[in-house]
Structure formats: structure tokens, C-alpha cells
Structure 1
Amino acid sequence: MLLAALLFLQAAAYCQVNFTQSNLPIVIINTDIDPNTGQPTVIPDDPKVPASMKIIYHEDGSTNFVTDQDTEDFLDYEGRIKIELRGSTSQDLPKKQYGWTTYEDNDSTKKKVSIMGMPKQNDWILNGLAFDPSLMRDHLTYNLSRAIGYYTVRTQYCEMVLNGEYKGLYVLQEKLKDDTNRINIEAIDEDADAGMALTGGYITKADKTTGGDPVAWVMPSYAGTTDFIHELPKPEDVTPAQNTYIHNQFLALASKAHTNNTNLSTGFPSVIDIPTFVDFFVMNEISSNADGYQISTFFHKDKGGKLRAGPIWDFNLTYGNDLFAYGLDRSHTDVWQFSDGGNEGPKFWTDLFDNPTFKCYFSRRWNEVTADGQPLSYDKLEEFIDTTVALIADATVREQQTWGTVPNHAQEIANLKSWLQERISWIDAHIGSYSACDNIEVPPLVITKINYNPAESDEFPESDDQEFIEIKNIGTTTVNLTGVYLRELGVSYQFPADATIAPLQKIQIASNPDVFEAKYGVTAFGQFQRNLSNSSQALVLADGWGNIIDAVEYSDSAPWPDADGSGAYLILVDENSDNSLPGSWAAYQDGDLSVATQSATAATIVMYPNPVSNILTIQANDVLKNIEVYDIYGKLLQSATAETTTLKVDLSGYAQGIYFVKVAGTKGSVTQKIIKN
């Protein structure tokens, strides 16, 4: 309490800013009047209290003015919220942090809204940058995590006015929760108690218990114990069967990691998604996160999927920063945070690092993301830091005037940069070689068909039940599928141990095997969980260590062929082509699965010459119905209808570069990449 009093006295020495404008969005919150005091309601730790919010945001990047709060065109959000204090140690500070939920005007119905371009949801946070004189550690780390390929909370700097009083610089950010645009898992059915239904989805965290939620279980570390808490389902909703299931996943991880069991069907690779655990190490170690592994450490698991580490959360005590006012100094350039004798987390973190194969993949990934030009290279880090400093420069002055917590921001940034240089050099010198896991040979499996939004009919009235993915072995030897799985969230599937696929064999995994067999007369190899997105989804086929075998991210938008509810499915034109390109796929409108890739619609359409200077000739065995030309960004440049088997398209007026030509016939459509000289 003495420390808290000193902090308040420190803040009291500073003055209220005359705040009128900002280059950042401005958040204005007014709590409802308390009928007992006649004053605005004081925001408590719990429960949330009603308030009104306006967010002033000039989308063109021009200056935001407080007076814009009365101009509808400049309001990104105007409506009702309920708000509370959040945080634990940070509540000792004069400057508070807030959690809030958007509501309909009736104050009883939650309302999902898009805030400053972020996907719609109703739960949000105003991060007050507690204990961080750089004002950027969370923002920096969350953006770096996204840059290496993970969902991490989206962030937006802003300045906040509460009940007419300027409160300083904040980061408006998402709250971690299950959502297709946040943690893309599907909440477990509340009555799930057995079988596949019991396998997901879960969000579990290792954390402090100051939030009031009960401890679900405790795991030993090499320096104490770690408490685990249910996040999804909520502690009050989780059933004994669900608690036992997800707890057993962690126990299995701990046991298999401790015994160095790397078997793809019985070892820790069968339990966890290796890439997410590797990258959790990467982010916590590059930042030397003092809380890492023990506190604010999240895990998630989708139905039918593996246990995954992340998303990362709460990175203010990083990059050499700590709770110095509390006598703590734990974030150093020359330690492994998972075994520093402090917040080590459960034993499995150290055991994984000590496993030679896992450590090899950690080293390989570290060297990949810190290589020149990559997101975690020092030059890229410095560039991002400098951009952020420029963005918040004016607000930083006001932050100091209001709270007195950043007396020398330039020095803080210099310290951050030099710390990062030392940290990267230390890890480079201590992480070890990755030669043993470099250039791993993966099996020759290719995703050749995708039916993501089938048409509904009287016979098959549910689109979702007709979805399927086809995989082909294009090699000359039988492939053992042990450990092979779909790596990205959205759909889940793990091949059974010792399952095989013969040379040139095609197999299908379906959302509903019974419907699949009824429609196509073919028995599905297996059933994936959840459903394919009707808009866009990444399908990543990987081996048990996460090495990518094949990857496709389809889209329902041009220049991808039209297989969006049209009765067609996507089919790979040439199994040796780059199937990440829309031009490698055709939309085949037929109920027959036996069609080979080379005999698909696309194989009957020829476009030449390619590269082309002026006139592109299109010839087809079938009648052409429509042609569209797109630029590399997906912008439609021209379109025309046709009733012919030969068509000439004039491209002479186009600049040199890459274009996509999409042609539709009676059996489907195909898109081809054309190079214009």
C-alpha cells in the first residue's frame, strides 16, 4: 500500500492537459450519472457499469479533434458500453486499464461491432501501457507475432477522455476469446461428455488467481508450481468430464516430454501442435518475458485438433523491463526465461527445450524469422520501433505531462534497441545448430480437390454436409500417414496411426462421410471436424513435426474460379503446379469424383501466347460462356459474354505485368496467369 501511495503522489505532481486534438483516434467515454451522488459513476473492478462511448477516427489519416464528437461522419463508433477496471498489479497505478463490452441501446443485449477496421465482436480492452516507459512493448510484440503468422490481438493506439478528463495514451485492443476472427476454435457443447464432442474447443491459461477464478489444477515446475485456470468453458460452466479431458492433455504432454518420447503416434508430437509451441518459445525468449510460461500463458484446442500454445498475451515486462518499483529485475539478455529459476512454468517447457529434436526445430525457426529481411531481424525490429515512435510522438509528451511516467522517452527507446541487439546475439550463440532438421523430406501428397460451399438440393439440403477435401499421393511409393494432420485452425483432422496411401491413390476426407458416400458412391477415408469457410481458408497439410507438405488458401473472390455455392468444386488443373495460385485451379461442375485433374474443364481450355504482347487467343473444346480479366490485386479490368469456342482478347492497352484471365464454360471455370510483355 505504501508503494501505491507513492505512485499516486508522483502522479499528483503533474497537471491536467488541455487536450483538443490528436493524430491518433480519440476515445470519449462518459459513465452514467450515479443517482446517489449525482456524479458520473465511478468505474469499479467488478461489475461493469453502463456508459456511452464515442470514437473519433478520421479514416483518411487527418487530425482528429475532440469537437468532432458531434459530427457523425467522423465517428467510428457511437453507442452504449459497459466498462470495468482490469488488471492485477496495474490497479496500483493512478492510470487505470479498462475492459468493456459493446451493447445495444437497451443496455441488456450485447452488440458485435467493428472498431477501427477490426473484425466485429463485443469484448474489447483499453490497455493503459502499465509499467512500460517505452509505451510500446505490448503493441510491438503483438504485431511481431502476427508478422510471423499467428492470430494475436489487433491493436490501435488512441487517446482517451473519461468523464471530461484527459486520461492519456492507450492501446485499444481485442480481448482473447473464441471467434473465427480471433481464436478460431468452436466452443465445446455444454453437454459434451464423451467421444469426439469432448475433444474441443478449449481455452486454458496458466495464470495468477487474482481474477477470482478457481484453480482448475496445479502442475509442478522445476522452480515451484503453476496454476491452471479454465477460460473456455468458463470455470462455472465446465463439467467434470471436460475438466478431466483437457487436464489429461496437459498431463500427457508433461509425461511424454519428460521421457523424451518423440514417436509420432505415441509421443508428444501426437499431443501438441509443434509449430505453435516453437513460436511461443520464440516470442517469449526474444523478449525475455519475465511473466512468460507461468502467467498470462494461454493454450487452446479445437475439436479433433491438437493442443496449441498461445495466443501470446501481456508483454509489458519484457525487453529488459520489469516491476522495478517492486524490487524485481528479471528480464535479461543472457537467460532462458523457461529455466531462470523464477517464472518457469510447468516442467514440460524445459523438457521440450532439452529434447534434441524439438530444440532443433526451435533453432531452425529462430534462424528463419531473424534472418535478414524477416520480421524478427534487428533491422526490421528497429524499423517498426521507429515507425511507432513517430506515430505516438505527440501523445508521448501528453502522457508525461499527465502521469509523469516517461521522463525520457528517447532514452527508453535507445535502451530498447540496444537490449534487442544483445538479446538476439545471445540467443544466436546459445540456441544450437538446426542442421539435423533442415531440408526435411516430406511425402509427395497434394491437395487436389476442395468442395467448400456445395450447392443445396432437394436430395442434399445441407451444404455443410457435402464438403470434402481430396488428397493425392503423386509419388511412386506408398506413404505412411502417421502424424500427418491439417495444421491450421478452422477444420481439424489427424490421420490414424499407420494409415497408408498407395502411389497415385486419391483419398477424400469429408465433413459428413455418410452424405459424401450417398452423393458420390465413394467411401470417405475420414471425417474432418467443423466446416470449411465459405469465403477463404488456409488448408495446410503437415507432418507430425509441423513440416508443411502442401498448402492452399482458397478464396471465393476473383481471380479464384467460382466454386462458391454454384454446384462446382475446386479441382487442381495440374498436380505438379503451384496450387497456392488461383490460376492452378478450375471450378468443375459435376457430381463425378472420378474426373482426373488433367481432364478437368481447365485442360480443355488453352490460352496463348503466354507471355503475350497484344492479342491473347483462347480456344476451348466446349462453348465459352464468359471471360474476365483481373489485375494482380484482384481488380476486374474487363469482362464479356460469349457463345463460341475461340475468342481473341486485346491486351495491348495494358501495362507490362501479371494478369489473371478467368474463363467460364458449361462445366465450370478456370483462371490462368498471363504475363503481359
Structure 2
Amino acid sequence: MIKTYFTILLTCLCTALATAQTFQSSNLPIIYINTDGRQILDDPKIKAEMKIIYNGPGKTNSISDKPNHYDGFIGIEIRGSSSQMFPKKSYGIELWDEQGKSKDASIFGMPEESDWILYASYNEKSLMHNVLTMKLAREMGIYASRTQYVEVFLNNNYIGVYVFMEKIKRAPGRVDISKLKETDLKGDDITGGYIFKVDKTTGTDIGGWTSQYQNNPPATNKTFYAYEAPKSITPEQRTYISSYVANAETVLKSNKFMDKDEGYRKYFDTHSFIKLFLANEISKNVDGYRISTFFYKDKDSKGGKIKAGPPWDYDIAYGNGEYCEGYTYRGFSYQFNNVCPNDGYQVPFWWERMMEDSTFVQELGEEYSFQRRKGAFRLDRINEHIDSLVAQLQVPSQRNFQKWPILGVYVWPQPTPIASSWAGEVQELRSFIINRLAWLDKNIKQPLDLTITATDPENATNVLSMNAFPNPFLDRIYIRIYSPRSEKALLSLYDTNGKLLTQINETLQVGENQVMIQIPPSLHLSSINLLQLESNGQKIVKKMMQQ
């Protein structure tokens, strides 16, 4: 019988004090896990009790508070691959009822679900890599796991700062694709939704398939794709998704892979590939693309293309890898095979092949430019995120590294020199990002701007201007507007017959404004279109060509 945990809170505190963990309260939620003496295994999950003290954002959480956020059972197991060698373990958690059946709940305001992860962040000493990257990915508009720092006690013992985060899973609010039932065996029913991955085989128990194509030389291997979801995948469904990917690869390998109608874009959602590319490249993720890399496919009736993501596992990133040039801010991670061709895990040929498509490269440059100027990759914005994480971790990090005294000590695969303090680790992260963005600015081809202007008739010194690119465009138009005043504006796209195709309202600020128009897939445009900006009685019209 699992003990009721609060009868031993005093013991818990005494244990913490005895091990130099002076712990009365925290600005982070406090999690207590009690296994009633049972050892946590890699598999299967064991039954335990979990209690969470969380008084809300910005509130102090005291060990004398009663559990008020979650108080119930869980199944818990050790998770991870190479990280299992570290003394501070990561854990997979499933919320259970008293009978050991899965149940959903909202934890820390995240969408209700049963499956969660307690990520240890042991060999990544800033404690920020995954949290920061997931934040940047979400700001780019793709799903990435929501996160919450917590402090954890396991069986009365303080075990440090953890990241409580969403497990990658098909579910509303996570990978929100159709639920594939065992009876979905033909027609549109069988076409989605699937999650598969490129990863180590640790923890993979439902199999997968090997690509028919060798990865780009000097690599010599073929990629293994592992089934991730559904867990109850049938033989027919296995055949469907492996055949779909095989067909997509065949088209991608073909000489006609850039064909507008029958090329690789028929199978691959390029926007998702671009955004995962940017998440991997800003972090210089040495394991990116080739390990912990997920893909998913919804039903054909819901788009049905292969999408890249969600992003996952950035501990050995931002310069935190001593192997295969993982320590340098220079170079592209997608070209890993050229750096370490003998490594057992290689980047699938997909990325190199897509980069041979000039339109893909153009779209990549447009997205990167947009994120750098207005979006997630603004350096001041990234530093604001880091400042926020520093504020959360300032005191808890001291307790974490008191429990795990590894600052200034080599932990695989940390390169030298090794910072002697947590503040030093955070500064290394900041410095890496500055250097990395400067390198990417020079090595990702960004669009050139074309400008037309209109003069305010009342004041010739005030000039309204609009840049629009690319031209010709595919399914996005990026617009840069300079406004001499704060005012409302209307952006409209017409065909040459004057038919309104799409329209958006914007409130312009004084100075530069950046806007993006996404062309809906259902909207059929002519080859020549007119983009019109209206603001304060002025109009600027630009001819835009569609590819």
C-alpha cells in the first residue's frame, strides 16, 4: 500500500537539510513522488504516488503547503537512451487512477493528457536548451512541447530541478492529427494519422522499416524509420505508411523531383521541414535530423502530406558536443554526414535533396529573414527569454548543483573549456547564439528587397513605402512597410480583373512593419496578381507573379 505522503513531509525536510539541500520553499512548483520503496525501471512503469504543490504563476510554493495541483497515482519509468548512464535520471510519467488505468488531467495549465515527461537536463548545465528551443519553435508557429520547471523529491530525497514537459503524442493540443483506429484499413481512413521517427532503437517496440535508398555519400547507410503512433498499428497500416514514404522518397530521388504538380511537394509539407530546419540550425543540434527526429502524416482528406516535427531533444546543441564539430557555431547540422560519415546514425538524404531545389532554398531564406527581423530569432527577443529563465532558475539552480556538483566538471559530451559556474554556462549559451546567428546571417541566402514608394501629398518629408517578396511567390508573400505615422492599413490581393482574392487589416507603427500573407491552398490565383496597400488615403500597388 502506497503511503500517504504528507505524513512524512517533516522527514523529507530533515533529509534535505542533512544533505545540504536547505529547502523551505521555491518559486517553482514542487513535485513529490513516492514509489513505496519500489525501484523505478526502464520498463515497465511501476505504480507510484505523485503530489504537486503549485500556487500559481509568480507565487511561492512551500513544503508546508498541502498538495493542491495534483494528488494521485502515476505509472513511472526511466526514459532516455544515452542519458540513462547519468545518475540524475529522466522519467516518463503516465497519470493513473487507483486501478492503474490511464487518466487525463491538465498539469500547469497544459492541455489535458495522461502522458508526461520529467526531463533531467543533467549533461546540459544551463538547464535551458530544451525549454528555449521549444519556446522558439512555438513562436515560429509549429507545435513543440510546453514546458514547466519544477523541483522534485523522490522517496523523500531531493533530486533537483527538472523540466516537466509534454510527451510527443497524437492528441488534441499536441500532434493534432486524426486518431487511426485498428478498423481503419482502406480508403481515406487508412491514410492518417501516423507518427514515425528517425531515432535510436532504444524504447522502440513496434518496429519500423528501412529506406530503400542509401543516404548521400560519403554516408554509406540507409535510414531506419520507426513506427511511433498508433501503438496498435496493424499490418495493413504498416504497409500503407511505409509504402507512402517509399513513394515519396522515390519522387524525391527522381530527376523530376522539382516538378510543380508531381514532384516531392506532393508528398512533403515544405513549411514544416523549413521550420524544423531552423530549430535545428539555430541550435547547431549535432544530433538533429538523424536522432530524435519525428514526422507525422494526417489523412489525405486533411492535407495528407509528411510533416517534419515536432522538434525534440536539444541537450547536445548550442555548442554542447565535443564530437563531430558539435562545439562550433560554424557549419550546418544537416550536413553532418560530410563531417562524420562513419557515425552509425546519419542524416536522411531528404534534407540535402530539398536544398537542391532553388525554390525551397528561397522559401528557407524568406522564413529565416522573417524570423530574424520580426519573429522568434530576434536576438533581443531570445535574450528576453533567457533572462526570464534565469529569473526562474536563479535560486533553484543553486540547490540543483548542490545536489549534483558537476559545475566545472567534465560530463559527456561537454567540450572544453568548461564553465565553473551556472552563470558561466548561461553566458556560454548567450555567446553561442550571438555567434551562431551571425554565421547563419551570412550563410542562409536571404531575399533581396524591391521597393516602391508613394509620397504623402500633405508633407513631402513623410514617405510611405512597401517592399514585397519573393516575386514570383509560391504561397507566401512577405511585406515590409515603412510608415511615417501610426495608422491603420489595408492589404489586398486582387487578380488582374479586379477580383478580391484575400485581404488583411494591419495597424502600422511608426517605422518598419513586417507582415506576411499566407495564400490558402484552396485559393487558385492567376499568374499575375496585384498587391495593394491602402493607408491614410494613399495607395501603393505592386504587380506580383505567382510561380
Shorter chain as denominator, the TM-score bin is 0.7 to 0.9
Q: Structure 2 vs 1, CA of residues 245 and 292 (structure 1 numbering), >3 Å: closer, same or farther?
A: same
Match status 1:354 vs 2:356: yes
Q: Structure 2 vs 1, CA of residues 174 and 434 (structure 1 numbering), >3 Å: closer, same or farther?
A: same
Counterpart in 1 of 2:62?
65
Counterpart in 1 of 2:540?
none
Cα shift readout 1:310-354 (whole Å, capped 9, x = no counterpart): 0101111110012x4xx6652431111111224542111111112
Within 5 A, what are the aligned runs for 1:166-565? 166-213=158-205, 215-219=207-211, 220-222=214-216, 223=219, 224-234=221-231, 237-258=232-253, 259=255, 261-304=257-300, 305-322=304-321, 324=322, 330-341=326-337, 342=340, 344-371=346-373, 373-406=374-407, 407-435=420-448, 438-440=470-472, 475=495, 542-543=520-521
The 1-side partners of 2:161 and 2:26 are apart by: 10
SS of match in other structure, 2:77 = strand
Residue among 72, 78, 86 paired with 1:79? 72
Measured on the aligned residues, the alpha-carbon RMSD in Å equals 2.9
Q: Structure 2 vs 1, CA of residues 475 and 138 (structure 1 numbering), >3 Å: closer, same or farther?
A: same
> What is the Cα deviation at residue 44 of structure 1?
0.8
SS of match in other structure, 1:389 = helix
Cα shift readout 1:540-586 (whole Å, capped 9, x = no counterpart): 76349xx999xxxxxxxxxxxxxxxxxxxxxxxxxx999xxxxxxxx
Q: Structure 2 vs 1, CA of residues 475 and 431 (structure 1 numbering), >3 Å: closer, same or farther?
A: closer
Q: Structure 2 vs 1, CA of residues 318 and 226 (structure 1 numbering), >3 Å: closer, same or farther?
A: same
Counterpart in 1 of 2:109?
117
Q: Structure 2 vs 1, CA of residues 212 and 230 (structure 1 numbering), >3 Å: closer, same or farther?
A: closer
Question: Match for 1:288: what amino acid?
Answer: K
The 2-side partners of 1:117 and 1:412 are apart by: 30
The 1-side partners of 2:324 and 2:74 are apart by: 37
> What is the Cα deviation at residue 59 of structure 1?
1.2
SS of match in other structure, 2:319 = coil
SS of match in other structure, 2:64 = helix
SS of match in other structure, 1:67 = coil
Q: Structure 2 vs 1, CA of residues 425 and 577 (structure 1 numbering), >3 Å: closer, same or farther?
A: closer
The 2-side partners of 1:442 and 1:93 are apart by: 48
Residue among 5, 14, 21 paired with 1:17? 21
Q: Structure 2 vs 1, CA of residues 260 and 381 (structure 1 numbering), >3 Å: closer, same or farther?
A: farther
Moved over 4 A (4+): 439-444, 473-478
SS of match in other structure, 2:295 = strand
Cα shift readout 1:50-86 (whole Å, capped 9, x = no counterpart): 1111111111522111111xx35xx111111111110
> What is the Cα deviation at residue 254 of structure 1?
2.4
The 1-side partners of 2:49 and 2:524 are apart by: 48
Q: Structure 2 vs 1, CA of residues 442 and 280 (structure 1 numbering), >3 Å: closer, same or farther?
A: closer
SS of match in other structure, 1:135 = coil
The 2-side partners of 1:273 and 1:311 are apart by: 13
The 2-side partners of 1:76 and 1:245 are apart by: 43
Within 5 A, what are the aligned runs for 1:608-619? none
Question: Match for 1:387: what amino acid?
Answer: S
Does the Cα contact within 8 Å between 2:79 and 2:92 map onto a contact in 1?
Answer: yes
The 2-side partners of 1:356 and 1:312 are apart by: 25
Q: Structure 2 vs 1, CA of residues 248 and 434 (structure 1 numbering), >3 Å: closer, same or farther?
A: farther
SS of match in other structure, 1:411 = helix
Counterpart in 1 of 2:42?
45
Equivalenced residues, count? 434
Question: Match for 2:257: what amino acid?
Answer: N
Question: Match for 1:405: what amino acid?
Answer: I
Question: Match for 1:423: what amino acid?
Answer: R
| Structure 2 length-normalised TM | 0.74
The 2-side partners of 1:60 and 1:84 are apart by: 29
Bigger mean CA offset, 19-28 vs 210-219: 210-219
Using the aligned pairs only, state the percent identity. Answer: 36
Where structure 2 has 5 or more consecutive residues not aligned to the other structure, the ranges are: 1-17, 408-419, 450-468, 477-492, 502-516, 526-530, 534-547
Residue among 82, 92, 99 paired with 2:85? 92
> What is the Cα deviation at residue 189 of structure 1?
2.4
The 2-side partners of 1:366 and 1:344 are apart by: 25
The 1-side partners of 2:206 and 2:324 are apart by: 27
SS of match in other structure, 1:370 = helix
> What is the Cα deviation at residue 171 of structure 1?
0.4
The 2-side partners of 1:110 and 1:367 are apart by: 44
Higher relative contact order (CA 8 A, sep 6+): 2
The 2-side partners of 1:138 and 1:339 are apart by: 22
Counterpart in 2 of 1:581?
none
The 2-side partners of 1:386 and 1:540 are apart by: 32
The 2-side partners of 1:430 and 1:386 are apart by: 28
> What is the Cα deviation at residue 271 of structure 1?
0.9
SS of match in other structure, 2:69 = strand
SS of match in other structure, 1:340 = helix
SS of match in other structure, 2:162 = strand
SS of match in other structure, 2:390 = helix
Residue among 104, 122, 128 paired with 1:136? 128
Structure number, greater radius of gyration: 1
> What is the Cα deviation at residue 196 of structure 1?
1.0
| Structure 1 length-normalised TM | 0.60
Counterpart in 1 of 2:97?
104
Cα shift readout 1:604-660 (whole Å, capped 9, x = no counterpart): xxxxxxxxxxxxxxxxxxxxxxxxxxxxxxxxxxxxxxxxxxxxxxxxxxxxxxxxx
SS of match in other structure, 2:355 = helix
Counterpart in 2 of 1:30?
34
The 2-side partners of 1:443 and 1:288 are apart by: 28
The 2-side partners of 1:443 and 1:385 are apart by: 33
Does the Cα contact within 8 Å between 2:144 and 2:311 map onto a contact in 1?
Answer: yes
The 2-side partners of 1:369 and 1:126 are apart by: 30
Does the Cα contact within 8 Å between 1:21 and 1:65 map onto a contact in 2?
Answer: yes
SS of match in other structure, 2:150 = strand
